């Protein structure tokens, strides 16, 4: 059976300018939030990626009309009359669980298949349920579906999350806008994508304050006062960080446009610590390097800490650094699966519990490797660009979930990289 792969020829330098697409992790939730508007909402700067297609299909199954014109998505939810999402769509993408909050907010009930997505950890939805239960939602499990109901309606509450979960914060935020009274979310996620969602909800007629801090307050409004809006998605900080890592890896300089540098404050600090030259403007960042890469000590944490979605890219940088780096993964327990693929190319990495000890090597060799998740796939392509010889990256569907025209953008920066079909359905082992 034919399989599409990415073929990379090594020993290349990435240099030039690249425009960052809209943030995947924001756009998906903005589409879900459109359910609350009960009309035609327009969302700009939406990336052309497979996850957006899946989320669009989820809303179509609920009765919405979803149309795309370039990077603008029109979502008309006025005819939505269903509150059940099908397993065949939700199982493909974990973010589909984001329709739970707005469906409960709009209908007072929901039937959502248990989610799927990247295999990088349990990522249980317990915190979603605990938060929603606090504002009046009751849950049961029925043959793989999560059944939500609100027999006594939605009401405000003070909710303290065990962990600043992005998904739990978003679902609670979207349901609480339709609750009676005030809801306070303490230990809320602080990611820029949370702020983006809150800004859109405010444009729809809700009252949300504190987004971007660890305490968010939502003053519930009648559902009838919510309306459609027009909103522009923020730039994707993880895509930006991936290309900047490519500049750091090969010397660059690489300039990314369409991103607020404050979104990547810790990552840029680590790049400087590794010996890179970093310049920033209002909506651009440039990274280049003329010195050897220095080793780092890095640990992933919820925002504003170092993002787990850039851990693989920085492990790749550490693989070329002059000395021993220690990378600690505190967010997803299976995210070090990427290390075994990098080791196939000659990286010197030892895994001890949730720590990776990375000893820099002089060269990585091209090999057949497999994307273990979205960010690992993108990092493996970068590894091939910096390595020697030919690298063939398999399971690239993971990359397509979150990077718009990744190959095209890399080629524009000087990479020798192409997509191709092969009859070999499995990576050579």
Q: Where do the domains of the chain lie, and which CATH numbers do they carry? A: 1-19+234-420 (3.65.10.10), 22-220 (3.65.10.10)
With a CB cutoff of 8 Å and minimum separation 6, the contacts of 70 are: none
- Is 24 a known ligand-binding residue? yes
- Is 94 a known ligand-binding residue? yes
Q: Which tokens belong to 290? A: 């003329």
Predicted local confidence at residue 119, as pLDDT: 43
Interatomic CA distance for residues 385 and 277, integer angstroms: 20
What pTM, to 2 d.p., does this model score?
0.94
Predicted local confidence at residue 115, as pLDDT: 63
Helix pair 50-61, 24-33: axis angle to 10 deg: 10
Residue 414: what are its φ and ψ, rounded to 5°?
A: 110, 5
- Are 96 and 59 in contact by the 8 Å Cβ rule? The answer is no
- Are 142 and 359 in contact by the 8 Å Cβ rule? The answer is no
- Is 25 a known ligand-binding residue? yes
Interatomic CA distance for residues 241 and 264, integer angstroms: 7
Predicted local confidence at residue 118, as pLDDT: 38
Catalytic residue IDs? 118
Please give the C-alpha separations between residue 299 and each of 158, 305, 306, 325, 354, in angstroms, as whole numbers: 31, 8, 7, 11, 10
Predicted local confidence at residue 315, as pLDDT: 97
Predicted local confidence at residue 429, as pLDDT: 39
My answer on whether omega of the bond before 147 falls inside 30° of 0, hence cis, is no
Can you list the positions of beta strands (E) in 57-192? 65-69, 72-76, 84-85, 109-113, 138-142, 145-149, 158-160, 182-186
- Are 312 and 379 in contact by the 8 Å Cβ rule? The answer is yes
pLDDT under 70 in the chain at which residues? 115-124, 333-335, 424-429
pLDDT in tens, 55-66: 999 999 999 999
- Is 8 a known ligand-binding residue? no
- Is 400 a known ligand-binding residue? no
With a CB cutoff of 8 Å and minimum separation 6, the contacts of 380 are: 338, 341, 342, 369, 371, 391, 393
Predicted local confidence at residue 427, as pLDDT: 43
End-to-end CA distance of the chain: 18
């Amino acid at each position: 059976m034919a399989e599409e792969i990415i073929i990379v020829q090594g020993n290349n330098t990435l240099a030039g300018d690249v425009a960052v697409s809209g943030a995947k992790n924001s756009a998906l939730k903005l589409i879900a939030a459109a359910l609350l508007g009960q009309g035609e909402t327009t969302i700009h700067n939406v990336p052309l990626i497979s996850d957006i297609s899946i989320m669009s299909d989820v809303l179509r199954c609920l009765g919405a009309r979803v149309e795309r014109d370039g990077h603008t998505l029109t979502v008309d939810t006025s005819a939505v009359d269903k509150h059940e999402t099908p397993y065949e769509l939700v199982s493909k993408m974990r973010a589909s669980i984001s329709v739970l909050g707005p469906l409960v907010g709009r209908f007072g009930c929901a039937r959502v298949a248990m989610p799927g997505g990247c295999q990088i950890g349990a990522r249980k939805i317990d915190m979603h349920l605990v938060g929603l239960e606090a504002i009046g939602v009751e849950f049961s499990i029925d043959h793989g579906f999560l059944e939500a109901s609100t027999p006594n309606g939605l009401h405000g509450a003070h909710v303290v999350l065990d962990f600043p979960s992005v998904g739990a914060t978003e679902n609670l935020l979207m349901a609480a806008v339709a609750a009676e009274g005030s809801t306070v979310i303490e230990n809320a996620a602080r990611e820029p994508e949370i702020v983006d969602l809150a800004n859109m909800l405010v444009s729809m007629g809700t009252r949300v304050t504190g987004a971007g801090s660890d305490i968010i307050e939502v003053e519930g409004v009648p559902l009838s006062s919510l309306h459609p809006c027009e909103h522009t998605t923020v730039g994707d900080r993880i895509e930006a960080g991936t290309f900047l890592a490519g500049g750091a890896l090969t010397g660059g300089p690489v300039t990314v446009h369409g991103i607020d540098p404050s979104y990547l404050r810790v990552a840029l600090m680590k790049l400087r610590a590794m010996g890179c030259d970093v310049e920033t403007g209002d909506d651009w960042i440039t990274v280049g390097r003329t010195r050897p890469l220095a080793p780092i000590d890095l640990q992933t944490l919820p925002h504003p800490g170092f993002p787990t979605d850039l851990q693989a890219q920085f492990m790749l940088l550490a693989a070329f650094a002059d000395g021993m780096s220690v990378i600690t993964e505190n967010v997803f327990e299976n995210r070090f699966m990427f290390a075994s693929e990098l080791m196939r190319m000659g990286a010197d990495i030892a895994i001890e519990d949730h720590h990776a000890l990375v000893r820099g090597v002089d060269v990585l060799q091209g090999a057949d490797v497999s994307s273990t998740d979205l960010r690992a796939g993108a990092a493996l392509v970068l590894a091939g660009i910096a390595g020697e010889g030919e690298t063939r990256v398999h399971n690239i569907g993971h990359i397509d979930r979150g990077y718009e025209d990744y190959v095209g953008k890399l080629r524009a920066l000087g990479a020798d990289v192409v997509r191709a079909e092969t009859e070999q359905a499995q990576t050579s082992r």
